[in-house]
């Protein structure tokens, strides 16, 4: 994974919550790269650690171990090693958009203040430059200058998410983590926000980590996909290859449901048989083995590391041979 094109290289990342004998292993030895200019999808069931990865990259939580090497315009920096004050200047470069835009907007602040506050944090667009910059931001996300005088409750869900996006863009990031940005929106609005994200990404040259449980949107929007299960990466692949030919039994299970043309019935992460094991007491060996239809006795003793089976295609499964055929460990 020595890709010169990487914006972020995540290596051996861990986040354990709580101390003692059984901490919650929300993220457990996760490695993947995010390439400059790509939209990388991060999928997995609820509780698999997706949000925690997003919060680690934006240093809203501190990692337990591992590296997150960010190579922006300056020298490569391991985000994991930075103190909060050392990280602060990078906050303008790395922004996060949340699922519920309403919860992340102060109800007593006009949109002008919301955006001004973001600009002030990084000393941007001061004085006479402020007003035109706020107008420009609103226009970039499909809102109008007069919207600046309104309060969050005066907007629809889709408009609020546009404000969330404008606030992220205000500080001129090059990397955006979008954590389920569509989940709180009506289906009819979701496509507009997806298209907006896609357009902005192209126009502003952004790199996007798109966290979602909507497999159809991920297929539409993302260049590559990381499949997460119980804090572990199961598979990484270019989107087309992943959807055409999932290699890992977990990915196969996720994609088993056929696409449904009705947008209101889009494919989302299906409920697999049995419960997700507790990340405080994960299964030995491969963490998926307790729900895996292909599990072998050997899968309980050790997990297969993530291996590259074909260019760009990585999977962590004993069953997969060098060309993707099923083999025994
Ligand atoms: P996802 O976004 O995929 O649904 P999360 O990253 O939110 O998953 O959570 C992964 C696991 O970590 C879950 O078991 C969750 O309960 C746990 N977790 C997340 N945040 C905390 C926290 N602040 N304290 C303790 N456990 C947490
Ligand atoms: Mg989440």
Atom of ligand 1 nearest to the CA of 17: 25
Q: Are 27 and 15 in contact (CB under 8 A)?
A: yes
Which stretches within the chain are classed as H helix? 50-57, 84-87, 111-121, 130-140, 157-170, 187-204, 215-221, 239-244, 249-255
> Domain range for residue 272?
245-315
Cα angle 188-191-194, degrees, rounded to a multiple of 5: 145
Lowest mean pLDDT across 161-165, 236-240, 251-255: 251-255
Does the beta carbon of 52 lie inside 6 Å of ligand 1?
Answer: yes
Nearest to 267 by CA among 243, 292, 299: 243
178, part of any domain: yes
Same domain, 171 and 261: no
Q: How far is the CA of 270 from the centre of ligand 2 (A)?
A: 16
* pLDDT given for residue 316 in this prediction: 94
Which of 269, 202, 204 is CA-nearest to residue 234? 269
48: in domain: yes
CA of 152 to the centre of ligand 2 (A): 23
Does residue 290 contact residue 281 with C-beta atoms inside 8 Å?
no
Q: Which residue has the tokens 């997806």?
A: 194
Q: What is the CATH number of the domain that holds 194?
A: 3.40.50.300
Place of tokens 């993947």: 32
> Which residues, in sequence order, are bridge partners of residue 207?
175
Residue 47: predicted pLDDT = 93
pLDDT digits (tens, 9 = 90+) for 58-110: 999 999 999 999 999 889 999 999 999 999 999 999 999 998 877 888 999 99
pLDDT at 329 (0 to 100): 47
Position 36 in a domain: yes
- Min mean pLDDT across 140-149, 257-266, 304-313 is at 257-266
Nearest CA to ligand 1 atom 12: 26
Q: In the structure, what pLDDT confidence band is assigned to residue 268 with cuts at 50, 70 and 90?
A: confident
Is pLDDT at 328 greater than 70 in this prediction? Answer: no
**Pairwise CA distance, residues 187 & 192, whole Å:** 10
């Amino acid at each position: 994974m020595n890709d010169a094109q990487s914006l972020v290289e995540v290596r051996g990342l861990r986040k354990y919550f709580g101390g003692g004998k059984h901490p919650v292993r929300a993220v457990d030895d996760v490695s993947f790269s995010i390439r400059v200019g790509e939209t990388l999808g991060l999928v997995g069931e609820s509780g698999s650690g997706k949000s925690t990865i997003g919060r680690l990259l934006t240093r809203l939580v501190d990692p337990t171990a591992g590296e997150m090497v960010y190579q922006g315009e300056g020298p490569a920096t391991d985000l994991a090693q930075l103190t909060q004050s050392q990280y602060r200047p990078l906050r303008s470069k790395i922004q996060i958009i949340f699922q519920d835009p309403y919860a992340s907007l102060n109800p007593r602040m006009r949109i002008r203040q919301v955006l001004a506050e973001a600009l002030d944090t990084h000393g941007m667009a001061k004085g006479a430059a402020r007003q035109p910059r706020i107008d420009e931001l609103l226009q970039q996300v499909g809102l109008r200058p007069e919207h600046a005088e309104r309060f969050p409750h005066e907007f629809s869900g889709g408009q609020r998410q546009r404000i969330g996006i404008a606030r992220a863009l205000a500080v001129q990031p090059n990397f955006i983590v979008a954590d389920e940005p569509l989940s709180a929106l009506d289906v009819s609005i979701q496509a507009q926000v997806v298209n907006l994200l896609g357009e902005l990404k192209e126009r502003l040259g952004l790199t996007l980590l798109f966290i979602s449980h909507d497999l159809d949107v991920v297929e539409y929007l993302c260049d590559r996909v990381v499949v997460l299960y119980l804090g572990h990466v199961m598979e990484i692949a270019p989107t087309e290859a992943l959807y055409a030919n999932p290699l890992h039994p977990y990915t196969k299970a996720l994609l088993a449901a056929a696409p449904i043309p009705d947008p209101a019935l889009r494919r989302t992460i299906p409920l697999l048989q049995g419960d997700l094991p507790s990340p405080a007491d994960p299964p030995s060996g491969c963490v998926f083995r307790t729900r895996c239809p292909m599990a072998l006795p050997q899968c309980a003793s050790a997990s297969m590391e993530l291996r590259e089976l074909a260019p760009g295609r990585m999977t962590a499964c004993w069953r997969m041979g060098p060309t993707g055929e099923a083999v025994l460990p």
